[in-house]
A = this chain, B = another copy of it.
Amino acid sequence: MDELAFIAALRGLPLHPGAQNLRDDCALLEIGGETMVLTHDAIAEGVHYRPGTDPADIAWKLVAVNLSDLASKGAEPIGVLIGAALIDGSARFVEGLRDVLEHHGVTLLGGDTVRPQGPATFGCTAIGRATTTPVPARTGARVGDALYVAGTIGAAMLGFRAGDGAAYLRPQPLLAEGRALAPLAHAMMDVSDGLLLDASRMAAASGCTASIKLNAVPFPTDLSTDDRAEATRWGDDYALLFAATIDAVLPVPAVRVGTMLAAGEHPLLVDGKAAEGSLGYEHG
């Protein structure tokens, strides 16, 4: 069973209304007049990081990818629970955890440890507080909206190739940007699996077709023109992709990369044509 079939099977279980039918990166929980935003992402050796990676970088990435999901909902982080594999270099894991928590002003709430019998898997649950209502979902984009990106697309790919990997291993969740954008975003998500794949997911969830112009995408200045197509299919950048009106006054830097059209034959057009091949990182 692949990931999509598994998630489809999970949709037949008793779901919390805030699970949003498992079609968003976060769950919403209404408590005492507040809306809590919850997300759980796991990362595994050999899948999300290479064997031999500095455990400090594993810890950073583990927390950062979860905070990025909160950022995409405009949520203010409260704390994280960590499911930590006890591996060689756990002291470095704790150092990386300190770095990422202190950098983002987040606290540790608790967790668990497991001594793995093979390649390690780490889990993190991040809990935040919504700062705007409604919380922007994947499903809210409207025909005629502009599609925008805050952050850049391609830095993680360059970092991975260079082998130093700050951008790949130490992504920066755009928490302040997410909070600033949430009130005007009709739909928002982080670009974790590739711009084209994530844009097509937002379009499908919203009943639209996303039309993206490649030369409008905010690539890093050191990305060559030849690498642009690949960079739009590469994940791990943790930029924010959002849909808003074409005349939205943007409170933080973001660039328009396309338009939401009425749903057509394909959920995604790139420079007017249906995108071919893999659009990004499909799990499992």
Q: Does A179 contact B (CB under 8 A)?
A: no
Number of copies: 2
Which of these binds chain B: A34-42, A133-141, A195-203, A234-242? A34-42
* A86 contacts B284, C-beta separation under 8 Å: yes
Residues of B within 8 A of A114 (CB): 42-44, 47, 121, 283-284
* With known contacts A97-B13, A115-B283, A121–B85 Cβ distance under 8 A: yes
Chain B residues with Cβ below 8 Å from A123 are: 40, 42, 83, 112, 121, 123
Within the complex, what minimum Cβ distance (angstroms) separates A19 from chain B?
Answer: 5
Given the complex of chains A and B, what is the CA–CA distance between A117 and B13 in angstroms? 27
Could you say which residues of chain B place their CB within 8 Å of the CB of A78?
Answer: 16, 29
Return A279 CB to nearest CB of chain B, in Å. Answer: 19
> Do A82 and B40 touch across chains, with their CB atoms under 8 A apart?
yes
CB neighbours (8 Å) of A82 from chain B are 40
The reply to whether A38 and B283 contact each other, CB–CB distance below 8 Å, is no
Contacts of A131 in B (CB 8 A): none
**CB pair B44 A13 closer than 8 Å:** no
Contact B32 A112 (CB under 8 A): no
Tell me if A6 and B86 are in contact (CB < 8 A).
yes
Give the shortest distance, in Å, between A116 (CB) and chain B (any CB): 6
Q: List A111-164 residues whose CB lies under 8 Å from chain B.
A: 111-121, 123, 125, 127, 129
The answer to the question of A9 belonging to the interface, with a C-beta cut-off of 8 Å to chain B, is: yes
Cβ of B29 and Cβ of A112 under 8 Å apart? Answer: no
CB of A176 within 8 A of chain B? Answer: no
| B85 and A38 form a contact (CB under 8 A) | no
- Provide the residues of chain B in CB contact with A45, threshold 8 Å: 117
Q: Is A253 an interface residue (CB 8 A)?
A: no
A84 to B284, CA, bound (A): 11
Taking CB atoms, residues of chain B closer than 8 Å to A112 are 40-42, 123
Contact between A113 and B3 (Cβ–Cβ < 8 Å)? yes
A1-B86, A27-B109, A31-B32 given; A40·B121 CB < 8 A: no
Cα distance A20–B232 in the bound complex, in angstroms: 44
How many angstroms from the CA of A9 to the CA of B98 in the assembled complex?
Answer: 10
Q: In chain B, what residue has the closest Cβ to A95? A: B9
Give 13 CB contacts A-B under 8 Å: A9-B91, A10-B108, A14-B102, A15-B107, A19-B107, A26-B110, A38-B109, A38-B125, A39-B110, A40-B125, A83-B83, A118-B118, A125-B125
